[in-house]
Each structure stands twice: as structure tokens, then as C-alpha cells.
Chains A and B, each alone.
Chain A
Amino acid sequence: SQELEQSPQSLIVQEGKNLTINCTSSKTLYGLYWYKQKYGEGLIFLMMLQKGGEEKSHEKITAKLDEKKQQSSLHITASQPSHAGIYLCGADDYQGGSEKLVFGKGTKLTVNP
């Protein structure tokens, strides 16, 4: 089955700094989703990428899917304390006639004021 590896596992940055989180897949990505989770709460959908080379932005967050469709990055510009949380990437995994969403273990982001 597909496995997603996120790096780094955790990240501490000073407010105002830029940062990047990576998500690498063991197989070709057909649908890649980025979610944000506050500790102990549900996942908030950020963006979905499907096409190689695709890039989407929302406010100060930009997500990209590489041309080979095996890696995605999430970039935050001028980070703020409100960006703190756990960022999860998820991917459509098709196996044995069924399809499900698999997730990475997440990247914990701390933004210090």
C-alpha cells in the first residue's frame, strides 16, 4: 500500500519566518491533500493537488506537486502564531479494488511570537 513520509516531523520557527513542509510518496500520487489539525481536534482541509507541476495558494500558504507526482511541498510565507498546528498530507491509494485516503504522520509546527 502507499506510504507517505513527511519531513520534518516537527518545526519551530520565529513569527515572520518562511517555512516548508514536505510529503514524499512511495507511489505515484493521483490526488494529494493537505490538512491542518489543531491538537486533539479535527482536520481542516487546506488544498488538493492532482496534476504534475500543479501549484495552489490560499492566503500565505502555497502547496505544490512535483512533475513526477511523487512529492508535494507546503510553503508558509511570513508565518504567524495562527499557523501553528499539525500539518498532514493525505493521498488517494487504490489497491485491490478499493480506494482509500492514506495519511502521513504529520508535521508539528510551532510559531513563536
Chain B
Amino acid sequence: ETGVTQTPRHLVMGMTNKKSLKCEQHLGHNAMYWYKQSAKKPLELMFVYNFKEQTENNSVPSRFSPECPNSSHLFLHLHTLQPEDSALYLCASSHRVYRETQYFGPGTRLLVL
């Protein structure tokens, strides 16, 4: 048990749907992250939040919209996705942003039809 939970664990959506992924951390951390993991590719950082403020957007398309209402919760809002967006989306948290161990949630497996 890593202390980072993600819901839903699996999601199938059409290209015209709008859905949201949720992440919650119970570790008292101040930094939270979204990563994308596609087959045959390294883990890709998408967004970084530090004390609820976005500090990094790694050139992510606007069809992905993050939201961080507090240091314990992180959302990823999805709309008009493409089939190539199908992947495992992982949330992580750490005490601080720089040079700190990140702890990961179990991920949401997303399939876009």
C-alpha cells in the first residue's frame, strides 16, 4: 500500500466523451504528478503540481486538463481524446518537487475507442 489511490482503475471512453481521473494521496505530500505510460515507451511526465500550483506542463495537448484543488487531490479531466491517448495514466506524489522519491498510485488503464 503506497498511500496513493486512483479511480477508476479502468476506463473505456469514446472520442466525444468527457471523463475525469481522480488521484488522492494520504502521505502528507506537497507535490503531485501525472504520468502517461504507453506500450514500448518510457514513462512520460505530463503535469507537476507543487502546493496546488502547476509548475510543469510537459507540452501536453489541451484535451487533457489537470486540476489540483488541494495538496491531497489531483484530477485529470479528459475530453475529445484520440485512440492514441489509450495508455496507463499514473499519479504520483512526493514531499517536495525536487530530488525527492515519488510514490505512485496503481494507475488508470484508459482505452479510447
Residues of B within 8 A of A31 (CB): 99
Pairwise interchain contact B99-A100, C-beta atoms closer than 8 A:
no
Q: From A42-50, A52-60, A71-79, give the one contacting chain B.
A: A42-50
Segment at the interface with A among B13-21, B65-73, B75-83, B100-108: B100-108
In the bound complex, what is the Cα–Cα distance between A33 and B106 (angstroms)?
18
CB of A35 within 8 A of CB of B104, answer yes
Residue of B nearest to A105 (CB): B42
| A8 CB, min distance to chain B CBs, angstroms | 15
B106 contacts A104, CB within 8 Å?
Answer: no
Residue with the highest number of chain A CB atoms closer than 10 Å, among B42, B55, B58, B107: B42
Which residues does chain A contribute within 8 Å of B43, judged by CB atoms? 88, 90, 103
Among A4, A43, A44, A48, residue most surrounded by chain B Cβ atoms (within 10 Å):
A43
Question: How many chain A residues have a CB neighbour from B under 8 Å?
Answer: 24
- A101→B48 CA distance, assembly (Å): 11
Chain A residues, Cβ within 8 Å of B2? 42, 44-45
Out of A30, A40, A101, which one reaches B109, CB within 8 Å? A40
A residues within 8 Å of B by Cβ?
A: 4, 30-31, 33, 35, 40-45, 48, 88, 90, 92, 98-106
Other CB < 8 Å A-B pairs besides A40-B107, A105-B40, 14 of them?
A30-B99, A41-B106, A41-B107, A42-B4, A42-B104, A42-B106, A45-B2, A45-B101, A48-B101, A92-B99, A98-B55, A99-B97, A101-B102, A103-B43
Q: What are the nearest 4 A-B pairs in CB distance?
A: A43-B104, A42-B104, A103-B43, A42-B106
